[in-house]
Amino acid sequence: MVLVITEEIEPGLDAPRLDAGDPAVPTYPPEAFNTRDAAALCGSSASHFAKLRQRGDKRRPGLPQGPRFRRIGRKVIYLRVDLDVWLASLAEDTAAISSISGEEG
C-alpha cells in the first residue's frame, strides 16, 4: 500500500505533498505473485509451475512437489514466504544428493 498525500492537512499550512514517484514514499516488495511472476522470480517458467501444481496432487506420490500455492476463484497465488521455503528445500535436497555421491566416490 502506498500512501499519497495530495491535500493540505489544514488550510494555510505548507504540508508536504508526496507523489508515488517521490523517493520519500516507501515502497514494499510484493508478497504475493501470480504464476508467471513467481516462476520468473525462481528462474523457471509458468508452464513448469503449472506442471508442478498438477504433480503435487496427493494422489500421485513420488513426483516432485512445487511451492505451496493458493487459489482465489480461478486465480493462483504464490506467497513470497512459500517460494523462499520451496527454494531452500531444493538447496537442501541438492546438498544431500551431493554429499551422498561424494561419499561413494
pLDDT digits (tens, 9 = 90+) for 13-46: 555 666 666 666 666 668 999 999 999 999 999 9
Q: The sheet that has 32-33: what strands, in order across it? A: 32-33, 75-79, 70-72
Q: How far apart are CA 82 and CA 66, in angstroms?
A: 10
Q: What's the predicted TM-score (pTM) here? A: 0.60
Q: How far apart are CA 85 and CA 55, in angstroms?
A: 18
Q: How far apart are CA 24 and CA 57, in angstroms?
A: 46
The amino acid sitting at 51 is: K
User: In the chain, which ranges are E strands?
Assistant: 32-33, 70-72, 75-79
pLDDT digits (tens, 9 = 90+) for 54-96: 876 555 566 668 899 999 888 999 999 999 998 988 877 666 5
Q: Spell out the domain ranges in the chain.
A: 32-104
